[in-house]
């Protein structure tokens, strides 16, 4: 009886292994640059031709290898990273499998040149289709250069699936950008067909690295965020809500400086943006996680593109709350300044742990301005020694100087400029957070009407009233069917003196019935009711307010969790700094 099972030749086995690691030129460059970074390189240069399909050369100034190590590095399962299975739990480097270099060599013409600085000469090894065809001495400085030509020359079925030269060059660039962001202290250069695509010198931090890639203007749209939960620490940068746009987004995630993909982490960050951006907006994210090696498994994907966290719920919670926290600060507000300050990564190191002051309390009906926000209005100069009574008096936040402009905007003087507040958007934020707080406490207060309102609606609108009747009652509207398509309203909320309860009720029910981007963006029915109520009940543009009402609006806004953004994802506040005014007047 003939045998059906047999052992594959090494050449075939190597080509199969290459299929797991070597997908395209970009994956080759990724593997080789990761090896260079693990070798302690301070400068990495990548040169490609034909998008990498024709040639890729990766040079570094890392520790290099002697003759014996260089030969061993081309054998399958050879590695300097681990020696026993238990080492897999604590691996802190990029790679350890040992398949990358021999897998690349199996499907290309590869030349390895290396020197460790200890032997009198370096080593050059030439490999064709996984077979060593030459070993020789050469003079060179410490480091390694790997030259890969004719990728997939011996696997034409794989070669035909490669994309155009420009597409493959972009993939190489993206792979290199990821690693450059992870290691800002390493200089990275990319040359494609004699054209410089990346020229990134070594810099101090990830902010400077991002500036080198996308420019100061793009990075000025980012704000630094940070947080900590247990032994997991997060730092990074996220885009200001007013700068977030639909379409292509930049998302770069790192764990212990290892780039990885994780849709669930991105979704957690997006939850942090809830009610601050339109539904279609896609903000940029640069998030760096630091976790103990045993708290993350990096060996769950052949190309190490995915990882598995021991406590993924804690990581998601940390990301969501860190993003939510930074969006409550002044740095996330829209601005008229033409020259923007860059994010300050060093500030992230002192961030409070999540759950210890990381988020504000929701405002009550007549809250005082949040102390952290009052730094906008209080002088930063040290004050002279005062009595205890005087200290108590000074601890009460001073009233801001406020003016109403065209009965629509509120101008507020700050220590270093001016705030322009949209009174309708600001009141939306106040009412939304207040009603969400009331829902959590059992329901909002309402006032009974001496003469109940009788409102005629469409059949579809009547069905909606029946479906959400309980939530409407908790929002302050006591409404019930009165036969046919008529609803009778016995009690209504009273959020401000200019409130038109019938108009608000009708508009809320219409929007809940027919839907809108605002309604669709809500995560649950409570939020849906609170959003529509806030939108329809807030004071309108064109409403004149007296000084007391302006001060109440201002104080209540700055006692909310997210004072700079309304529930539609529009700004409530636009900043204008004194520096920008000085530049405009040429002083």
Question: How many domains does the structure of the chain reveal?
Answer: 3
Per-residue pLDDT of the chain (587 residues; tens, 9 = 90+): 566 776 666 666 665 555 567 899 999 999 999 999 999 999 999 999 999 999 999 999 999 999 999 999 998 765 555 445 554 555 555 554 345 899 899 999 999 999 998 888 999 999 999 999 999 999 999 999 999 999 999 999 889 999 999 999 999 999 999 999 999 999 999 999 999 999 999 999 999 999 999 999 999 999 999 999 999 999 999 999 999 999 889 999 999 999 999 999 999 999 999 999 988 899 999 999 999 988 888 766 666 678 889 999 999 999 999 999 999 999 999 999 887 777 876 443 333 344 433 333 333 333 444 555 555 554 444 444 434 344 434 344 556 799 999 999 999 999 889 999 999 999 999 999 999 999 999 989 999 999 999 999 999 999 999 999 999 999 999 999 888 889 999 999 999 999 999 999 999 999 999 988 787 888 899 999 999 999 999 999 999 999 999 999 999 999 999 999 999 989 999 999 999 999 989 88
Q: Is residue 464 part of a domain?
A: yes
**Which helix (H) or strand (E) element contains residue 450?**
strand 447-456
Residues 154, 18 share a domain: yes
Residues 212, 165 share a domain: no
Residue 484: left if φ>0, alpha if ψ -120 to 50, beta else—which one? left
Last residue of a domain, one of 350, 380, 404: 350
Q: Is residue 212 part of a domain?
A: yes
Residues 196, 222 share a domain: no
Last residue of a domain, one of 202, 226, 261: 202
Q: Is residue 530 part of a domain?
A: yes
Q: Residue 309 and residue 234: Cα distance in Å, rounded?
A: 14
Residues 193, 228 share a domain: no
pLDDT attached to residue 131: 93
Residue 382: left if φ>0, alpha if ψ -120 to 50, beta else—which one? beta
Q: Is residue 70 part of a domain?
A: yes
pLDDT attached to residue 363: 32
Q: Residue 318 and residue 311: Cα distance in Å, rounded?
A: 11
Residues 47, 196 share a domain: yes
pTM over 0.85: no
Residues 323, 250 share a domain: yes
Task: Read off the tokens for 482.
Answer: 């009165």
Residues 148, 295 share a domain: no
Q: Provide the residue range defining the domain that includes 294.
A: 207-350
Q: Quick one: CA dihedral 388, 393, 397, 402, positive or negative?
A: negative
Q: Is residue 399 part of a domain?
A: no
Residues 112, 252 share a domain: no
Residues 73, 93 share a domain: yes
Q: What is the total residue count of the chain?
A: 587
Return the CATH number at 286: 3.30.230.10
Q: Quick one: CA dihedral 542, 545, 551, 557, positive or negative?
A: negative
Return the CATH number at 453: 3.30.1370.100
Task: Read off the tokens for 415.
Answer: 């220590």
Q: Which segments within 314-401 are labelled E, that is strand?
A: 334-335
Residues 225, 194 share a domain: no
Q: Is residue 413 part of a domain?
A: no
Decide the pairing of beta strands 195-200 and 285-290.
unpaired
Coil vs helix vs strand at 184: coil
Other CB atoms within 10 Å distance of the CB of residue 417: 18
Q: Is residue 433 part of a domain?
A: no
Q: Which segments within 139-255 are labelled E, that is strand?
A: 143-149, 187-192, 195-200, 222-229, 232-239, 251-255
pLDDT attached to residue 390: 41
Residues 466, 318 share a domain: no
What lies within 8 Å, CB to CB, of 159 at 6+ separation is: 53, 151, 152, 153
Q: Residue 196 and residue 190: Cα distance in Å, rounded?
A: 6
Q: Is residue 90 part of a domain?
A: yes
pLDDT attached to residue 481: 87
Last residue of a domain, one of 350, 384, 404: 350
What lies within 8 Å, CB to CB, of 582 at 6+ separation is: none
pLDDT attached to residue 493: 95
Residues 259, 314 share a domain: yes
Q: Residue 273 and residue 281: Cα distance in Å, rounded?
A: 10
The residue whose two tokens read 């998302």 is 251
Return the CATH number at 94: 3.30.565.10
Q: Residue 145 and residue 545: Cα distance in Å, rounded?
A: 71
């Amino acid at each position: 009886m003939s045998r059906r099972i047999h052992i594959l030749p090494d050449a075939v086995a190597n080509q199969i292994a290459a299929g797991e690691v070597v997908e395209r030129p970009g994956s080759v460059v990724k593997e080789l640059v990761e090896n260079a970074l693990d070798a302690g390189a301070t400068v990495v240069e990548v040169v490609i031709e034909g998008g990498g399909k024709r040639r890729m050369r990766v040079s570094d100034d890392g520790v290099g290898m002697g003759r014996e190590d260089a030969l061993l590095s081309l054998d399958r399962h050879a590695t300097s990273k681990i020696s026993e299975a238990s080492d897999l739990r604590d691996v802190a480097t990029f790679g350890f499998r040992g398949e990358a270099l021999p897998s690349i060599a199996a499907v290309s013409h590869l030349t390895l040149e290396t020197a460790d600085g200890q032997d009198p000469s370096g080593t050059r090894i030439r490999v064709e289709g996984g077979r060593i065809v030459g070993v020789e001495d050469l003079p060179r400085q410490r480091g390694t250069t790997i030259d890969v030509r004719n990728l997939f020359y011996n696997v034409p079925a794989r070669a035909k699936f490669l994309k155009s030269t420009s597409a493959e060059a972009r993939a190489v660039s993206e792979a290199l950008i990821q690693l450059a962001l992870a290691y800002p202290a390493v200089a990275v250069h990319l040359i494609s067909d004699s054209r410089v695509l990346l020229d990134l010198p070594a810099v101090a931090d990830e902010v400077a690295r991002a500036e080198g890639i996308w420019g100061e203007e793009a990075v000025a749209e980012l704000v630094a965020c940070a947080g900590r939960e247990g032994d997991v620490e997060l730092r990074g940068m996220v885009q200001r809500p007013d700068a977030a746009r639909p379409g292509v987004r930049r998302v770069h995630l790192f764990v212990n400086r290892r780039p990885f993909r994780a849709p669930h982490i991105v979704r957690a960050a997006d939850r942090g943006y809830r009610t601050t951006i339109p539904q279609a907006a896609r903000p940029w994210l640069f998030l760096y996680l630091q976790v103990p090696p045993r708290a993350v498994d990096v060996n769950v994907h052949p190309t190490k593109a995915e990882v598995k966290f021991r406590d993924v719920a804690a990581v998601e919670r940390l990301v969501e709350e860190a993003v939510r926290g930074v969006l409550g600060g002044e740095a996330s507000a829209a601005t008229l300044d033409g020259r923007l300050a860059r994010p300050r990564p060093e500030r992230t190191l002192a961030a409070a742990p999540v759950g210890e002051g990381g988020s504000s309390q929701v405002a009550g009906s007549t809250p005082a301005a949040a102390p952290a926000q009052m730094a906008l209005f209080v002088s930063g100069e040290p004050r002279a020694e005062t009595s205890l009574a005087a200290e108590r008096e000074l601890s009460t936040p001073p009233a801001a100087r406020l003016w109403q402009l065209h009965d629509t905007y509120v101008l507020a003087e700050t220590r270093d400029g001016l705030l322009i507040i949209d009174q309708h958007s600001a009141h939306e934020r106040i009412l939304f957070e207040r009603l969400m707080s009331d829902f959590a406490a059992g329901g909002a207060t309402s006032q009974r009407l001496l003469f109940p309102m009788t409102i005629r609606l469409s059949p579809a609108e009547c069905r909606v009233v029946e479906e959400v009747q309980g939530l409407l009652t908790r929002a302050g509207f006591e409404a019930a069917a009165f036969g046919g398509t008529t609803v009778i309203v016995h009690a209504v909320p009273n959020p401000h003196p200019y409130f038109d309860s019938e108009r608000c009720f009708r508009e809320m029910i219409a929007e809940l019935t027919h839907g809108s981007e605002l309604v669709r963006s809500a995560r649950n029915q409570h939020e849906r009711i609170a959003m529509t109520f806030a939108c329809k009940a807030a004071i309108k543009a064109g409403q004149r307010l007296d000084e007391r009402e302006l001060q109440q609006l201002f104080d209540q806004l700055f006692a909310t969790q997210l004072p700079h953004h309304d529930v539609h994802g529009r700004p409530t506040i636009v900043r204008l700094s004194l520096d920008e005014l000085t530049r405009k007047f040429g002083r």
